[in-house]
Amino acid sequence: MGSESKMVHSPMVTYASMLSLLALCPPFVILLWYTMVHADGSVLQTWDYLRQHGLQGFISIWPKPTLTAWKIIACYAAFEAALQLLLPGKRVEGPISPAGNKPVYKANGVLAYAVTMVTYVGLWWFGIFNPSIVYDHLGEIFSALIFGSLAFCVLLYIKGQIAPSSTDSGSTGNIIIDFYWGMELYPRIGKNFDIKVFTNCRFGMMSWAVLAVTYCIKQYETYGKVSDSMLVNTILMLVYVTKFFWWEAGYWNTMDIAHDRAGFYICWGCLVWVPSVYTSPGMYLVNHPVTLGVQLALYILVAGILCVYINYDCDRQRQEFRRTNGKCLVWGKAPSKIVASYTTTTGETKTSLLLTSGWWGLARHFHYVPEILGAFFWTLPALFNHFLPYFYVVFLTILLFDRAKRDDDRCKSKYGKYWKLYCDKVPYRIIPGIY
Ligand code: NDP
DSSP per-residue string spanning 75-117? HHHHHHHHHHHHS--EEEE-PPPTTS---EEEE-HHHHHHHHH
Average pLDDT across the chain, whole number: 93
For 315-356, what is each residue's pLDDT tens digit? 999 999 999 999 999 999 999 999 999 987 777 888 899 999
Report long-range pairs for 154-159 (Cβ below 8 Å, ≥24 apart). 154/179, 156/182, 156/183, 156/184, 156/187, 156/195, 156/262, 156/263, 156/267, 157/183, 157/263, 159/183, 159/184, 159/187
Enumerate the β-bridge partners of residue 104: 93
Residue 25 CA to ligand 1 center (angstroms) comes to 25
Q: Which atom of ligand 1 is nearest to the CA of 254?
A: 2
CB atoms < 10 A from the CB of 88, how many? 8
Q: Whose CA is nearest to atom 25 of ligand 1?
A: 254
Q: What percent of the chain lies above the pLDDT cut of 90? A: 82
| CA dist., res. 375 & res. 270, Å (int) | 17
| CA dist., res. 276 & res. 283, Å (int) | 9
pLDDT confidence tier of residue 4, bands split at 50, 70 and 90: very low
232-238 mean pLDDT: 98
For CA atoms 429, 430, 433, 435, give the dihedral sign: negative
What residue type is assigned to position 319 of the chain?
Q
pLDDT of residue 9: 62
pLDDT of residue 12: 81
Residue 16 CA to ligand 1 center (angstroms) comes to 25
Q: Whose CA is nearest to atom 33 of ligand 1?
A: 368
Residues 272-292 as b/e (b if ≥16 CB within 10 A, e otherwise) read: bbbbbbbbbbbbbbbbbbbeb
Say if residues 229 and 292 touch (Cβ distance below 8 Å).
yes
Residue 337: phi and psi, rounded to 5, are -150, 165
Residue 362 CA to ligand 1 center (angstroms) comes to 15
Q: Whose CA is nearest to atom 24 of ligand 1?
A: 254
Q: Where are the beta strands (DSSP E) in 248-392?
A: 337-343, 349-355
pLDDT of residue 313: 96
Compute CA distances 357 → 189, 248, 323, 324, 424, whole Å: 41, 24, 16, 15, 13
> H-helix or E-strand containing 189?
strand 188-189
pLDDT of residue 347: 77
Enumerate the β-bridge partners of residue 352: 340
Q: Decide if pLDDT at 2 tops 60.
A: no
Overall size of the chain counted in residues: 435
For 84-108, what is each residue's pLDDT tens digit? 999 999 999 988 888 888 899 999 9
Say if residues 201 and 34 touch (Cβ distance below 8 Å).
no
Q: Is 255 in the pocket of ligand 1 (CB under 6 A)?
A: yes
pLDDT of residue 346: 74
Q: Which atom of ligand 1 is nearest to the CA of 367?
A: 34
Say if residues 135 and 218 touch (Cβ distance below 8 Å).
yes
Q: Is 352 in the pocket of ligand 1 (CB under 6 A)?
A: yes
Angle at 279 between CA 234 and CA 435, to 5 degrees: 100
pLDDT confidence tier of residue 5, bands split at 50, 70 and 90: very low
Q: What single-letter DSSP state applies at residue 74?
A: H
Residue 187 CA to ligand 1 center (angstroms) comes to 22
Residue 258 CA to ligand 1 center (angstroms) comes to 10
For 117-136, what is each residue's pLDDT tens digit? 999 999 999 999 999 999 99
pLDDT confidence tier of residue 206, bands split at 50, 70 and 90: very high
140-167 mean pLDDT: 95
Residue 165 CA to ligand 1 center (angstroms) comes to 25
For 247-266, what is each residue's pLDDT tens digit? 999 999 888 898 889 999 89
pLDDT of residue 6: 41
Q: Of 7, 389, 411, 347, which Cα lies nearest the Cα of 172?
A: 7
> Which residues lie closer than 8 Å to 96 by C-beta, 6 or more apart?
102, 344, 350
Q: Of 421, 314, 423, which Cα lies nearest the Cα of 371?
A: 314
